Structure 1
Amino acid sequence: MKLQQLLSQTRKAIDEYQMIQDGDRIAVGISGGKDSLTLLYALSNLRRFYPKKFEIEAISVNIGFDGVDMSEIESLCRDLNVSYTIIDTEIAKIIFEERKESNPCSLCAKMRKGSFNEKAKELNCNKIAYAHHKDDVIETLFLSFIFEGRLHSFSPVTYLDRMDLTLIRPMLFVSESDVIGFKNKYNLPIVKNPCPADGYTKREYAKNLVKQLSDEHPGAKERMFTAILNGNLQGWPQRILTKRI
């Protein structure tokens, strides 16, 4: 996927769900993975010509594993003219050494989000952006359906009243395969996830399940995504469809 295609799909989500207004300061969560770096590229380039003026701040939460080198991401942020902040924490020590969590993902995510949100507020951001893409939306619905007994997937826009922050997901219409293509084409400086639980989660199970269904029934993934968009899921904002020139 070329940058122009990424910007087109990102802008489609931003426009149809009114994610950005004039004067917004948006904190972009940077994990070091392909998704968050693709989002960084999208928003840093989109701000140059989008009619509503906004600023971005890139933020990474270092959970404390040894040997994680973010220097190439720091260099990328300089090239993109984006301010970058790394938050050092002891989340890994707390979860794996002190608490010895057998199912660490939920607590880790909660602690990472807490650190990220606090830094976003400190940097005077009113919005935060996550890099969830189209496949994440579908997989989340499967997780909720199978393990929680409800039809739910995260909303494109969510107001976090406790933090007075609005969470946006501008890559809603971008598929994971396109993210992989973008990563390869632009040689994104990926930082490997050092977590021992990576790849052994319920989300990985849902990802494999969706892939199997898509392989056996071509077009199934797109139909599932369309069903979600048209499903009037609780918490989703109104979608405003406009003709694109």
Structure 2
Amino acid sequence: MSAVWNDEADAAPAGTANSAKIEREAHKLEKRLCREVGRAISDFNMIEAGDKVMVCLSGGKDSYGMLDILLKLKARAPVHFDLIAVNLDQKQPGFPEDVLPAYLKQVGVPFHIEEQDTYSIVKRVVPEGKTTCGLCSRLRRGILYRVADELGATKIALGHHRDDILATFFLNMFFAAKLKAMPPKLVSDDGRHVVIRPLAYVAEKDLVRWAQHRGFPIIPCNLCGSQENLQRQVVGDMLRDWERKHPGRIENMFSALQNIAPSHLLDGTLHDFKGLKPTGVADENGDKAFDPPELPPSSPAAGLPALQVVKIG
């Protein structure tokens, strides 16, 4: 199934040398986006035959990109599924109400605009200068769950990408003392909906480039986007700085989220440390306490200090 999900179309010929180069780069980017979204859908069985996927569209680059790629994959997917775009108009002052309906009519996708004045609630409840994200997120979640029921949606698609998942991991580690990120697929907290993140493997920089190439009519969020020094923004800046100084680190960290060794962490609910006893049977995955850590030769070049091996005894 994954091979069909990742099917790629041929590039259209360009007229001039310059336009041909631009077209080639755009085509490579499109192939990569389709490949990564298709791989995530296949790896986690995000979309099944007969699904009605509610694509949550905020007006930002990520949700535009998600809808755009899902439409491309739908045309050649191995199973039939339907898409419906949903935007929650939170009644923020100056919100351009005509932009999303005009765009969605242009691309020909069914859509629903839900109007709920959560902006006034957040501004009334949250003290000036405090972070609005928590309350805003809870209000949006409840409304979108209800809308999914009303529309008969079987899946709710959110536009969180790879960098969002990593940022959430570090936020939880730094501020909540948890090793926890955003799962690519989960059951909602009310137990009634399946939430998917088709962009789970997609790098944010690719979505930025795709939005520029496609000319999406981006709508800024004046509620949370206007807040400075949010913890998520600080962590995002940290990740971008790491990627700029040490290319490849982001990929390694994201791969680590898919390569967990519970026996080498400290959570007794995931590994039975108390009941651990010698078996007398060799295990290649067993602990090698006196061996140096197995790291690739390029680790110091990736921005990590070289490790010194200290001999015991």
> Residue 235 of structure 2 is aligned with which of 194, 197, 206?
206
Name the TM-score, length of structure 1 as normaliser. 0.89
Higher relative contact order (CA 8 A, sep 6+): 1
Q: CA 1:104–1:34 in 2, change beyond 3 Å: closer, same or farther? A: same
Distance in 2, matches of 1:161 and 1:182, equals 32
Q: CA 1:195–1:206 in 2, change beyond 3 Å: closer, same or farther? A: same
Distance in 2, matches of 1:120 and 1:57, equals 10
Q: CA 1:88–1:38 in 2, change beyond 3 Å: closer, same or farther? A: same
> Residue 195 of structure 2 is aligned with which of 167, 187, 191?
167
Query: Counterpart in 1 of 2:99?
Result: 72
Pairing 1:223–2:260 present: no
The 5-angstrom pairing of residues 90-101 of structure 1 reads 90-100=117-127
The Cα shift of 1:72 comes to 2.8
CA displacement 1:192-222 (0-9 Å, x = unmatched): 1111544432110110111222233221111
Contact 1:130 1:169 in 2 (8 A): yes
CA displacement 1:156-207 (0-9 Å, x = unmatched): 1101262511000111111000000000111011011111544432110110
Contact 1:27 1:56 in 2 (8 A): yes
The Cα shift of 1:80 comes to 2.5
Q: CA 1:220–1:115 in 2, change beyond 3 Å: closer, same or farther? A: same
Distance in 1, matches of 2:256 and 2:189, equals 29
Of all paired residues, the percent bearing the same amino acid is 27
- Structure 2: runs of 5+ lacking an equivalent: 1-25, 268-313
Contact 1:60 1:116 in 2 (8 A): no
Rg larger in 1 or in 2? Answer: 2
SS at match of 2:250: helix
Distance in 2, matches of 1:116 and 1:192, equals 20
Distance in 2, matches of 1:228 and 1:99, equals 34
> Residue 151 of structure 2 is aligned with which of 78, 103, 123?
123
SS at match of 1:162: coil
> Residue 154 of structure 1 is aligned with which of 177, 182, 187?
182
Distance in 2, matches of 1:149 and 1:98, equals 27
Q: CA 1:178–1:54 in 2, change beyond 3 Å: closer, same or farther? A: same
Q: CA 1:216–1:40 in 2, change beyond 3 Å: closer, same or farther? A: same
Query: Counterpart in 2 of 1:109?
Result: 137
Query: Counterpart in 1 of 2:222?
Result: 194
Distance in 2, matches of 1:200 and 1:110, equals 21
Pairing 1:7–2:7 present: no
Q: CA 1:79–1:8 in 2, change beyond 3 Å: closer, same or farther? A: farther
Contact 2:156 2:196 in 1 (8 A): yes
Please identify, of 75-84 and 104-113, the stretch whose mean Cα deviation from structure 2 is larger.
75-84
Q: Give the aligned CA root-mean-square deviation in angstroms.
A: 1.9
- Structure 1: runs of 5+ lacking an equivalent: 235-245
Distance in 1, matches of 2:97 and 2:120, equals 19
Q: Name the structure with the higher strand share.
A: 1
Distance in 1, matches of 2:220 and 2:107, equals 21
Pairing 1:81–2:108 present: yes
The Cα shift of 1:71 comes to 2.2
> Residue 181 of structure 1 is aligned with which of 202, 209, 221?
209
Q: CA 1:67–1:161 in 2, change beyond 3 Å: closer, same or farther? A: closer
Query: Counterpart in 2 of 1:237?
Result: none
Distance in 2, matches of 1:172 and 1:97, equals 34
Distance in 1, matches of 2:221 and 2:251, equals 29
Name the TM-score, length of structure 2 as normaliser. 0.70
The Cα shift of 1:11 comes to 0.4
